[in-house]
């Protein structure tokens, strides 16, 4: 009798575990779904926007870009001077050139993180 009880306990434990495993597996699709949603957000976070370089001011490290709406920094279409992240970005900017660029708000300073000719 004792054996029977321990067997049924074991069986229900095993059943419980497999149910748990099933539930966990079922949940995997949820997080997996939101993970891919999150990674598309990440992609959006590094997305490049179209713009046209209007002016490059080497001494101040500023690049004036005419651009459309920049969703990640909540900026409507405008022409505005932004800080180049570094010398590389500054060198890639040439007046009059159509570019793809990435603007980010770094501690309150709108900064061009990447810029390339398109
Ligand atoms: Cu602006």
Q: In what helix (H) or strand (E) does residue 75 lie, and over which residues does it extend?
A: none
Instruction: Answer yes or no: do 80 and 32 share one domain.
Output: no
Q: What is the pLDDT of residue 75?
A: 96
Q: How many angstroms is it from 29 CA to the middle of ligand 1?
A: 40
State residue 46's pLDDT score: 80
Asked if residue 100 and residue 66 are part of one domain, the reply reads: yes
Q: Of 45, 65, 80, at which residue does a domain stop?
A: 45
Which residues contact residue 96 at a Cβ distance below 8 angstroms, ignoring those fewer than 6 apart?
A: 52, 53, 54
What is the reported pTM?
A: 0.63
Q: Tell me how far the alpha carbon of residue 2 lies from the centroid of ligand 1, in angstroms.
A: 77
Distance 78 CA to ligand 1 centre (A): 6
- Both 55 and 100 in one domain: the answer is yes
| Bigger pLDDT: 6 vs 112 | 112
Assess whether 81 and 101 both reside in one domain.
yes
**Distance in Å, CA 75 to ligand 1 centroid:** 6
Residues 78 and 29 in one domain: no
Task: Give the C-alpha separation, 59 to 90, whole Å.
Answer: 10
d(CA 88, CA 43): 23
Across the chain, what does the average pLDDT equal? 79
Same domain assignment for residues 62 and 96 = yes
pLDDT at position 34: 45
What range defines the domain where residue 5 resides?
1-45
Whether residues 67 and 111 fall in one domain = yes
Q: How many domains does one find in the chain?
A: 2
Same domain for 97 and 72: yes
Claim to verify: residue 59 and residue 107 sit in the same structural domain: yes
For the segment 32-85, what is each residue's pLDDT rounded down to a tens digit?
A: 444 444 444 455 568 899 999 999 999 999 999 999 999 999 999 999 999 999
Q: How far is the CA of 8 from the centre of ligand 1 (A)?
A: 70
Does one domain contain both 68 and 103? yes
pLDDT (0 to 100) of residue 88: 97
Distance from residue 77's CA to the centre of ligand 1 (Å): 7
Ligand 1 mean position, distance from CA 108 (Å) = 12
Q: Which residue has better confidence, 32 or 88?
A: 88
* Same domain flag for 55 and 111: yes
Q: E strand or H helix at 57, and its extent?
A: strand 49-57
pLDDT for position 37: 45
The owner of tokens 């000719």 is 117
Q: What are the two backbone dihedrals, phi and then psi, of residue 17, each rounded to the nearest 5 degrees? A: -65, -40
Question: What six digits make up the tokens of 113?
Answer: 């993180």
Indicate if 10 and 37 belong to the same structural domain: yes
């Amino acid at each position: 009798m004792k054996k029977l009880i321990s067997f049924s306990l074991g069986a229900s434990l095993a059943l419980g575990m497999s149910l748990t495993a099933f539930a966990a597996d079922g949940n995997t699709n949820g997080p997996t779904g939101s993970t891919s949603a999150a990674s598309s957000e990440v992609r959006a976070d590094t997305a490049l926007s179209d713009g046209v370089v209007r002016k490059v001011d080497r001494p101040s490290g500023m690049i004036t870009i005419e651009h459309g709406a920049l969703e990640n920094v909540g900026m409507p279409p405008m022409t505005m001077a932004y800080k180049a992240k570094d010398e590389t970005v500054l060198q890639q900017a040439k007046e009059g050139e159509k570019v793809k660029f990435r603007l980010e708000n770094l501690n309150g300073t709108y900064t061009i993180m990447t810029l390339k000719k398109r």
